[in-house]
Structure 1
Amino acid sequence: DVEMGEVGEVPGWVRNVERTQTLIAMIQQKREDLGKQMHKSKRIGFDDESEGMRRRQISAITDDITDLFKQCERNIQEVVKGLDPKDKHDVAMRRNVQVALATQLRDESVPFRREQKKYLDKLKENESRSKYVPTRESTYEDEGFGDAQMGM
């Protein structure tokens, strides 16, 4: 009994909230690491091996972050499980906590997706530049005057 100074076991949904907050902190740290790797990758380099390794690291970090987002989503859904619909205070509190966690997760997810898109667009741009092969139409060759021009 809390009034008597005795505290019982923490409800499972509260531990779930704490785990979710820990996962969100991990997402923030991994996003920071990912940003550093992406920044290094944006620089033009001539070492294909190290660039390949960096891309694999970026891919692995991205996969980790995606998995963390999925875990958070599952945890957020679990907050309202086992809820007694008759207990209006519990319902309101859990719903508020659920919305707060979902908002925190969205605040991480939106910039993450934006950064991913920007990075992938930059990769495509760099690849299209490196694959540029001049065609006959795009090369400048001075062929002199043509026959029609000489006859004028």
Structure 2
Amino acid sequence: MAILRVNGEERQYDGDSSMPLLWYLRDELGLIGTKFGCGQALCGACTIHVDGTAMRGCQTTIADADGLSVTTIEGLAADGDHPLQIAWRELNVPQCGYCQSGQIMQAASLLKDTPQPTDEDIDSAMSGNICRCGTYPRIRAAIKQAAAATQGAKL
């Protein structure tokens, strides 16, 4: 049996511990904000936080997360008012929107570790998250806006 804390709530899972965490989150818990993209940890659509670190849910197993804290886009901010979520809305970042939860989760990890990132920091941290619509300039602008809004505050 695996025990995980998902978005602040303790959960137990008695099934196959080699199952990707993405399937558990989506199919068992109904947390469908985290998306399946490539299944090979190459696109970033499934980015979640495991103990505060951005990880790919498609390649992270239940066993990998046993005893750890998992945060999905649904758990990032109770009312969708995380500075990144606000910036995403204000700057109309998404087009199709499919990659956006992964983009936001990756950006939140960046801002946690680098509260005032440079363009190079953003490019490096976000390079593994693919946006088919090509909204990279708006993604960068939203990250900068969120960083400025928090002015180094812990996210």
Verify same fold: TM over 0.5: no
Kindly indicate which of the two structures has a greater share of residues assigned to strand: 2
TM-score tier after normalising by the smaller chain length: under 0.3
Task: Flag the structure with larger Rg.
Answer: 1
TM-score where L is the length of structure 1: 0.23
Q: How high is the TM-score relative to the length of structure 2?
A: 0.23
